[in-house]
Amino acid sequence: MAETESFVARCVDGLAALPDRLLALLDNLLERCPRRLGDVPVAALLTAPALLILGTFSFAPMVNSFVLSLHGGKRGAGAFVGLGNYLDAARSGEFWRSLAVTVYYVLGTIPAMLLFSFLIALALHRIGRARGLFRTLYFLPYVTSVVAAAMVWRSLFNPRGGVFNLLLAWVGVAPQQWLLEPRGLLHLLTGGAVDPSIGPSLALCCIMLFDIWHGCGFMVVVFLAGLSSIPREIEESARIDGAGGLRTTWHITLPLLSPTVFFLTVVGVVRAFQAFNSFYALTQGGGNTQDTRNLILYIYSQFYDYGYWGHATAVSTLLTLAIVTLTAVQWRFVGRRVHYS
């Protein structure tokens, strides 16, 4: 028994001394490195684990995906075709329709989410009572499973007996097909004056509405963190000088929140281009109808349903380049208007 306790004590002492030994080993290695290398050895050692993980699970699959995009046939077993898959994508009407759906989705969700989230966060920031309760209620949809929430929304959008159609009938409006409606929203609102193919379809607008509801919780929390970091003295000084609530918000609060708005815009745009769960759950996996098939569903159907691995990976490569380019443009032009102090 005494030998066991002594062994455990030695193990504990050894583990306690492990950080000091690792630091001593690191100092010894740094002393042996040439002076001209500077901090390069330390940076390489500290970033090696993260680079190993990124290389294994991110960069290597990306390289493999690009290699697949250069081959034709099914299941990646075809001959080398070079940029043939990229040219086929550029000539494909389904690809351009999926791109249009993706652009409609991005333009319809990100501005609305930013606006509603900011207004909600501003209201929550200024209320005194039950602030924690309301924060929890607004954040709850974001932590709810997308599939579970989509099942509830599908029942609300049900053309036969759904809640939304019951509300329309109550106000004397004809029922709608909602998620099954391929015609454009502008066509429906104008009574047929606009071509049905112009603008997002009603089904796509239903998906946008769901994602706005589901994603606002995250932005509300981030906006609240940004609002909490703004010194109250600045807003109080503006009000003492005669500025009203609207002018204070526009000229004081929003400029100081510009880093938060910029961060949410970049992250939101990237996530919107990669949206999949809501589209798949609300349409029952239906990328079969072009009015609700974004680029991710298009890639999914080409890869898994039809087995055109080369074509699917070519489109995914183009999507990756588009996201990187758009992010760089945002950093280049929009980032200049961000005030960090």
pLDDT at 204: 94
State pLDDT tens for residues 176-199.
Answer: 999 988 889 988 888 888 888 888
Tally of helices (H runs) and strands (E runs) in the chain:
17, 0
Inter-residue long-range contacts of 86-89, CB under 8 Å, 24+ positions, other chains counted: 86/314, 86/317, 86/318, 88/311, 88/314, 89/311, 89/314, 89/315, 89/318
Residue 144 — φ and ψ, nearest 5°?
Answer: -80, 145
Task: State yes or no: pLDDT of 141 exceeds 70.
Answer: yes
Task: State yes or no: pLDDT of 166 exceeds 80.
Answer: yes
State pLDDT tens for residues 259-316.
Answer: 999 999 999 999 999 999 999 999 887 645 788 999 999 999 999 888 899 999 999 9
| Spatial distance between the Cα atoms of 192 and 104, rounded to a whole number of angstroms | 20
State pLDDT tens for residues 40-74.
Answer: 766 777 788 888 998 888 888 888 999 999 988 78
Give the up-direction half-sphere exposure of residue 152: CA atoms within 13 A in the CB hemisphere. Answer: 9
| Spatial distance between the Cα atoms of 104 and 295, rounded to a whole number of angstroms | 12
- Return the minimum-mean-pLDDT range out of 229-233, 327-331, 334-338: 334-338
**Residue 17 is encoded by which pair of tokens?**
């001394």
Mean pLDDT over residues 203-210, rounded? 95
Provide the H-helix boundaries in 162-231.
Answer: 163-170, 185-189, 202-228
| Spatial distance between the Cα atoms of 272 and 251, rounded to a whole number of angstroms | 29
Mean pLDDT over residues 29-37, rounded? 59
pLDDT at 236: 77
Q: What is the rounded average pLDDT for all residues in the chain? A: 85
Mention every residue, 6+ apart, whose C-beta is less than 8 A from residue 217.
Answer: 138, 139, 140, 141, 142, 143
pLDDT band at 336 (very low <50, low <70, confident <90, very high): confident
Mean pLDDT over residues 150-164, rounded? 91
pLDDT at 31: 64
Burial class (CB in 10 A: 0-12, 13-18, 19+), 102: buried
Torsion of CA 16, 19, 21, 23, to 10 degrees: -160
| Spatial distance between the Cα atoms of 153 and 107, rounded to a whole number of angstroms | 22
pLDDT at 33: 60
pTM over 0.75: yes
pLDDT at 174: 87
| Spatial distance between the Cα atoms of 153 and 146, rounded to a whole number of angstroms | 10
| Spatial distance between the Cα atoms of 284 and 331, rounded to a whole number of angstroms | 37
Q: What is the CA radius of gyration of the chain?
A: 27
Which domains does the chain possess? 20-68 (no CATH), 85-337 (1.10.3720.10)
- 316 versus 335: the higher-pLDDT residue is 316
227 three-state secondary structure: helix
Cα dihedral sign, 152-156-157-158: positive
- CB of 217 within 8 A of CB of 136? no
Mean pLDDT over residues 129-149, rounded? 87
Q: In this structure, which amino acid lies at residue 283?
A: T
- Hey, which residues does 71 pair with through a beta bridge? 80
Give one DSSP letter per residue of 13-34, joined into a string.
Answer: HHHHHHHHHHHHHHHHHHHHS-
Mention every residue, 6+ apart, whose C-beta is less than 8 A from residue 260.
Answer: 222, 223, 225, 226
Place of tokens 């807003």: 235
State pLDDT tens for residues 84-124.
Answer: 999 999 999 999 999 999 999 999 999 999 999 999 999 88
**Residue 87 is encoded by which pair of tokens?**
């040219």
Task: State yes or no: pLDDT of 15 exceeds 60.
Answer: no
- CB of 268 within 8 A of CB of 114? yes
